[in-house]
Structure 1
Amino acid sequence: MHLFSRTTSLRFLSNLHILALAAIVFGGSAWFQATADASVFDSETFTLDNGMQVVVVPNHRAPIVTHMVWYKVGAADESAGESGNAHFLEHLMFKGTKTLGPGEFSRIIQLNGGRENAFTSQDYTAYFQTVASDRLETMMKHEADRMTNLVLTDEVVLPERDVVVEERRSRTDNNPSAKLFETMRAALYLNHPYRLPVIGWQHEIKALNTKTALAFYRKWYAPNNAILIVAGDVTAAEVRPLAEKYYGVIPAKPVPERIRIEEPPQTSARRVIHKSARVRQPTLAINYLAPSYRRGATEHAYALQVLDEVLSGGSTSRLYKTLVVEKKLAVSVGSNYSASSLDLTDFSFYASPQPGVEVETLEAAVRAEIAKVLENGITPKELASAKRRKRAGSVYVRDDLGTAPRIIGMSLATGRTIEEIENWPDLIDKVTVEQVLAAARAVFRDESSVTGLLLPKPTS
């Protein structure tokens, strides 16, 4: 799932994508393979009378807090023809309310020594501030204010639309890697809205306006469709009265059910080739449609996380050891799988050839490694090592104050529960070599894949 913020595009896969702080939950790099297990986060949760869920993660290492509000709505919930509306509204949420002028909330955060940002994905939109713990009430006051009192006029909306158009031009249209993966995503999903870019298609961004933004805001932004997460030098006893004072007084309202168009059976492999004079290093990518925790053959999700670790978990992983170290075909190679999507997700491979190695040769080698997995699966030794690395990653989960609220928020916004997150290490420990083989054979099917090639285009 791609994420876009006001200042950075937060996720594109591997060296072809920009890695987000909150891009992957329980998959990908080892430092982020963590869990909300009580012994790790010691999180507490309660629900306000208006339906807003609140999660508190005490962490008293420093007198600071991260305050986040997650809305259970993203780009995949947009109306047809309005791609980019969720991300556009994220920008506009900084344009003022009935009590604060445009940018004034941001200035208050700066005056209080804090920092802020926001990001949008296919499945959620989140806003956060990190400040000294004694400034938490100020953050709650103003974040709750813009949950219900946003003021938008053409005078602020239309110039910001031009900003988003330029953002798309600079990050996607002028970025060969982004162009390739945008097209690959559109090809991977034949019908589901995940095929649409989070930032939107340029011609549809240009059609967004004050009316479309306000309609989206009024439709989805409500306390009963939001999650408040506070992590840092606080306790649930301190957070509860503040949450009730500022968020609890906002009335709940009807929010539409998140009905997504179903993806039909896929029967044909697809291939995307993007050539550009800006490309200096060819790149190969192979994406397979895959189940998540919530959709598809969900019983495979944990086994696929283990397989991803075996294939791509560091310098001793299968892909790196074979294709970079031994055969010297690639300068970089890896895989990526994240199970935290509301709907289906993908299992991806990426590789970049050594100088003098044809990309076709590298592709054949990558496919040979996939074939080995399909034939023999993984070994008991690889399984044990992958589980050990995954569990070890949770030791570091609390080093970054922002990690816990991102993991928890991403999980809750895509349909999981605190209990499920807490049980994650035990579920990983139960994965068997037989389950990994079954998962690989269910997912690594040519007919549900897209292969992408990013190639240099000779200048004449």
Structure 2
Amino acid sequence: MSTFKPTALALSAPILLTSLLASAVSLAAPAAPTGSANKAGSDVLPFKAVEKTLPNGLKIIVVPTGLPNLVSVTIPVQTGSRNEVEPGKSGFAHFFEHMMFRGTKAYPPEKYQEIITRAGARQNAYTSDDLTNYYTTFAKEDLETVLKVEADRFQHLDYPIEAFKTESRAVLGEYNKNSANPMQKLFEVQRDAAFNTHTYKHTTMGFLKDIEDMPNQYEYSKVFFDRWYRPEKTTIIVAGDVDPKKTVAMIEKYWSGWKKGSYSVPVPSEPAASGAQYRHVAWQTPTLPLVTVAFRAPAFSDKEKDSAALSMLLSLSFGRTSPLYKRLVQDEQNVDQLFDYSPNRVDPNLATIGARVKKPLDAVYVRDAILETVARLRDTPVTAKELADAKSAQKYGLIRTLDNTEQIAATLASYVHFDRSYGTLNRYYRLVDSLTPADLQAAARKYLVDDSMVVTTLAHDALPAGIETLPKLAAMTPKASNANFDVLVQKSELPQVRFKLLFAAGSAHDPKGKEGLAALTAAMVASSGSRERKIDEVTKALFPLAGSFSEQVDKEMTTFSSSIHKDNWNEYLAIALPLLLEPGFRDEDFRRLKDAQKNALLLDLKDNNEEEFGKERLQTNVYAGTPYGHPVLGTVAGIESITLDDVKTFWRQAYTGGALRVGISGDVSDAMTASLKTALARLPLGSGLPATTVPQGRKPDGLEVEIIEKNTRATAISFGLPLEVTRSHPDFPALWLAKTWLGEHRASSSHLYQQIRELRGMNYGDYAYIEAFPRGMFQFFPNPNLGRKAQLFEIWIRPVAPQNGHFALRLALSELGKLVDNGLTQQDFETTRDYLMKNVFVMTATQDQRLGYALDSQWYGTPEFTKMMRDGLAKLTVADVNAAIKKHLSARNLSVVFITKDAAGLKKALVSDAFSPITYDAAKPQEVLDEDKVIGAMKLGIKAENVRITPAAQVFAK
């Protein structure tokens, strides 16, 4: 339970605001028509909703979304802090958001929670000025159960005085927590100054004296619930995989007995403002000064243009694409956050422009810069293109978020509560679509006026003289500017914002003799600080933000990945992006990271991990003599030869605007994207490093074996061959299906796993690959952004007992040979394809994976990965797959890498083709024992000259 900290979908999102305000901000997106008669292409919500009002006044809206398996039940109640008209009783709407989870006689809290947990549900609530909203998302089969228990708590909420008093102290704790936020206090003061009679005078939390008195209001709490939690004030929104007719019947079954209320009380109207006001908050602890300028704003309407026009105007004028933002935040850098905040409300409220100022001395300058821009808006209309772009961004920005049941229901709730109508959102967007530059200018002239202005400041240190003297708007004048950069945007409701910077630079670009330079350069960028901050200062600055900035280097790509909560966006960019744009390049960091890279190669890869060691060695053997012929980490000699000047040169040449692809995901506004574009525009121009050619891997004639001699208890085995098939190749889906059947990574149902581990118990697992999968022993899925121009078909036999090494190779080759010679059966083909059609979504389930795969698709020039795979798999036949197997794979011509202790003994066994016996601790079926005899005698035909023994110490030395 919490007060709403919303997803802002306006052109500029009040990032600082949304993290601090206790009251709700309605989703700032516009829309149009009503549920049952939608017209494709004109409505933001394309669904055919069923609406019904029960005799008791309860409104039902059922929205079949076409999205499978999930249902969201969202219940907005037209009761918020606006309805708290009685003196001494503020904060009760928010308080009841808490109490509604205290249970009923039929479903006490523990039982209620047990039911919700059993439904696998995600549940919460929020309170705003105008509504309290409850929402639950769960599997569709639990719909009736959820409707039943929700009906019970809305009709029969029951709590003892002890629970009431306990929760009242929790609410006070929430107020105390929020009181540590300077913005919270500033807005309390602002609203108190702006309103005299209307209940918007207090925030959603309520007045402190009323919150402190709540433990004494048990009897009134019953009265409040009886008055406001009534069907005529409530809407039940059911969205998702639902049957409307059955859903309506369920709601009628459990909710039709809810009695209609009779209580009604008018909310007092606020008289017209009569003059500009100034308020200051003296903050007791150090903080940056805040300056806000607010104006009386019109009530929300889906018919009259004023509210939509003013909101759009402020977004354009003070958001991150605005000239003022560029001037104050980016160029002059005297402000670290500039925002606008125009929440949709039932009654006239406030529209706010705010700034967080870096130095107290700049407070008057920043205030006047805001006022200058406001003054210009009244005299100069925005251009038609600016408005068209803003409308487009706002509309499609919202549509982009409506990709799941919960978000659809949540978005609906933020508009439905006005008139309890599905059509409100669509009507509002139609209204926005109809806006003209003249409408925006008219709104500015009507609402951005001196008499309704409230300027509020907050500071710990003294502000300059004159801050309290408010100039007339007519005396102020404006300024302008802008910047641009292409970005792939994946909008979602996730508040965690991630962005990836993918450069066309990797270990394939390492100069000869400097192997490891790409990796060391990326490490210096991510882990050596910026020009202004040492790495420890960066770490400390990012710690309270829970922000991260990390690198990943592969053959063709270097990717810097960032993760930060949207509330901390501006502060994070100021810390993280200088790591790339202005690296510290300190000598002590260079020495530290160079040693770390060398240790990662020698210790972490070679000495401590035979499995990854063998896989990496196979890769370098297959691509020896090409840019892919050394590990990404480099070689010992290569790392030792790298100088700090080498790193600086590589950084300048590799990390250019022309070599960059950018992707961002999460609850990111267009303005946030714009700020990222502007920052990255500081990268050097140019196309980056010269493009690499497609490496030609070595295709052995027969089996070529390297035995790495190492003092180890087990024997690790990897073998494979070069593969021209990448994601852009037409045979990719076919080979993907084949390797999945043969040995998908960590899949116990795959064929090799069943034959080697499950049936014979020889090792931990056995897998096949057609794409690079570094760090495979630690992960279930490969990282994105490992795109390569040539790949490797590989089978990884996880370590076996040394006496079984020869047999393990024979067994794996035998099974691979059967696949190549005989292909898949129709049943195996269909079973594997059905699995992959769904598993492809699991592969791309995380925010990082979705964004990374999208950038990979750009790099390969392919459609979006899940679509590409599902379309490709859908077209496949078993004949296609078997043809691709025969064309690209072999069980005879392969490179093999062993890591074992007795290299000479293993070589002798391999070359002699001696019978390789195997014994078991447990009894095995006779057919397995018979098959083992055949496999143990299988002739591999390995020539002595095709087997070399290499001491582990020599591997990757140079």
- What is the TM-score of this pair, normalised by structure 2? 0.44
User: What is the deviation of 1:356?
Assistant: 7.9
**1:115 matches 2:122:** yes
Counterpart of 2:340 (choices 335, 348, 351) is 335
Give deviations 1:343-402, integer Å, cap 9, x for gaps. 112211011234586111111111111111122131222222222222222321412433
Decide whether the 8 Å contact of 1:311 with 1:317 is kept in 2. Answer: yes
**1:390 matches 2:394:** yes
One-letter amino acid of the counterpart of residue 126, structure 2? F
Aligned equivalent of 2:71: 65
Cα separation, 2, equivalents of 1:437 and 1:234: 45
Secondary structure, counterpart of 1:385 in structure 2: helix
Structure 2 CA distance for partners of 1:35 and 1:456, relative to 1, 3 Å: farther
Decide whether the 8 Å contact of 1:294 with 1:343 is kept in 2. Answer: no
Cα separation, 1, equivalents of 2:126 and 2:304: 27
**1:224 matches 2:258:** no
**1:145 matches 2:149:** no
One-letter amino acid of the counterpart of residue 126, structure 1? N
One-letter amino acid of the counterpart of residue 398, structure 1? L
Decide whether the 8 Å contact of 1:14 with 1:350 is kept in 2. Answer: no
**1:318 matches 2:323:** yes
Aligned equivalent of 1:289: 296
User: What is the deviation of 1:26?
Assistant: 5.7
One-letter amino acid of the counterpart of residue 242, structure 2? V
- Which residues of structure 1 form unaligned runs of 5+? 1-5
Secondary structure, counterpart of 2:291 in structure 1: strand
Aligned equivalent of 1:203: 209
Aligned equivalent of 2:254: 246
Aligned equivalent of 2:189: 183
Decide whether the 8 Å contact of 1:331 with 1:353 is kept in 2. Answer: yes
Aligned equivalent of 1:14: 15
Decide whether the 8 Å contact of 1:62 with 1:233 is kept in 2. Answer: yes
User: What is the deviation of 1:103?
Assistant: 4.2
**1:306 matches 2:312:** yes
Aligned equivalent of 1:455: 459
User: What is the deviation of 1:57?
Assistant: 1.9
**1:272 matches 2:273:** no
Aligned equivalent of 2:51: 45
Cα separation, 1, equivalents of 2:93 and 2:26: 22
Secondary structure, counterpart of 2:352 in structure 1: strand
**1:166 matches 2:173:** yes
One-letter amino acid of the counterpart of residue 359, structure 1? A
RMSD of aligned Cα (Å): 2.6
Cα separation, 2, equivalents of 1:222 and 1:211: 18
Structure 2 CA distance for partners of 1:45 and 1:393, relative to 1, 3 Å: same
User: What is the deviation of 1:255?
Assistant: 3.2
Rg comparison, structure with higher value? 2
Decide whether the 8 Å contact of 2:31 with 2:425 is kept in 1. Answer: no
Counterparts of 1:18-29 in structure 2, within 5 Å, are: 18=19, 23-25=24-26, 27=28
Of 184-193 and 102-111, more deviation after overlay is shown by 102-111
Structure 2 CA distance for partners of 1:153 and 1:194, relative to 1, 3 Å: same
Give deviations 1:414-455, integer Å, cap 9, x for gaps. 236333432333322221211111100111112212111121
One-letter amino acid of the counterpart of residue 99, structure 1? A
One-letter amino acid of the counterpart of residue 387, structure 2? L
Structure 2 CA distance for partners of 1:319 and 1:135, relative to 1, 3 Å: farther
Secondary structure, counterpart of 2:337 in structure 1: strand
Cα separation, 1, equivalents of 2:261 and 2:165: 29
Decide whether the 8 Å contact of 2:293 with 2:353 is kept in 1. Answer: yes
Structure number with greater CO (CA < 8 Å, separation at least 6) is: 1
User: What is the deviation of 1:207?
Assistant: 2.5
Of 9-18 and 203-212, more deviation after overlay is shown by 9-18
Cα separation, 1, equivalents of 2:275 and 2:102: 46
Cα separation, 1, equivalents of 2:139 and 2:296: 43
Cα separation, 1, equivalents of 2:446 and 2:112: 49
Decide whether the 8 Å contact of 1:288 with 1:444 is kept in 2. Answer: yes
Structure 2 CA distance for partners of 1:88 and 1:25, relative to 1, 3 Å: closer
Decide whether the 8 Å contact of 1:291 with 1:298 is kept in 2. Answer: no
Of 160-169 and 349-358, more deviation after overlay is shown by 349-358
Cα separation, 2, equivalents of 1:233 and 1:74: 30
Cα separation, 2, equivalents of 1:181 and 1:282: 14
Structure 2 CA distance for partners of 1:22 and 1:80, relative to 1, 3 Å: closer
Aligned equivalent of 1:98: 105
Cα separation, 1, equivalents of 2:67 and 2:285: 46
Cα separation, 2, equivalents of 1:217 and 1:146: 11
Give deviations 1:311-347, integer Å, cap 9, x for gaps. 245x422332333234443222121223x31111221
Structure 2 CA distance for partners of 1:376 and 1:430, relative to 1, 3 Å: same
Cα separation, 1, equivalents of 2:407 and 2:5: 15
Cα separation, 2, equivalents of 1:356 and 1:218: 50
- Which residues of structure 2 form unaligned runs of 5+? 9-13, 463-958
Structure 2 CA distance for partners of 1:129 and 1:21, relative to 1, 3 Å: farther
One-letter amino acid of the counterpart of residue 280, structure 1? T
Counterparts of 1:414-433 in structure 2, within 5 Å, are: 414-415=418-419, 417-433=421-437
Cα separation, 1, equivalents of 2:25 and 2:2: 19
Give deviations 1:151-204, integer Å, cap 9, x for gaps. 1221211111111111111112x3222111111111111210110122122221
Cα separation, 2, equivalents of 1:128 and 1:391: 24
User: What is the deviation of 1:404?
Assistant: 2.5
User: What is the deviation of 1:34?
Assistant: 5.6
Cα separation, 2, equivalents of 1:21 and 1:157: 21
User: What is the deviation of 1:216?
Assistant: 0.6
Decide whether the 8 Å contact of 1:184 with 1:452 is kept in 2. Answer: yes
Counterpart of 1:85 (choices 78, 82, 92) is 92
Cα separation, 2, equivalents of 1:290 and 1:298: 13
One-letter amino acid of the counterpart of residue 14, structure 1? I
Decide whether the 8 Å contact of 1:52 with 1:227 is kept in 2. Answer: yes
Aligned equivalent of 1:373: 377
One-letter amino acid of the counterpart of residue 331, structure 1? D
- What is the TM-score of this pair, normalised by structure 1? 0.89
User: What is the deviation of 1:303?
Assistant: 1.5
Aligned equivalent of 1:353: 357
Cα separation, 2, equivalents of 1:19 and 1:176: 8
Give deviations 1:61-92, integer Å, cap 9, x for gaps. 34111111121111121222111112112211
Counterpart of 1:193 (choices 185, 199, 219) is 199
Structure 2 CA distance for partners of 1:198 and 1:140, relative to 1, 3 Å: same
One-letter amino acid of the counterpart of residue 278, structure 1? T
Of 109-118 and 298-307, more deviation after overlay is shown by 298-307
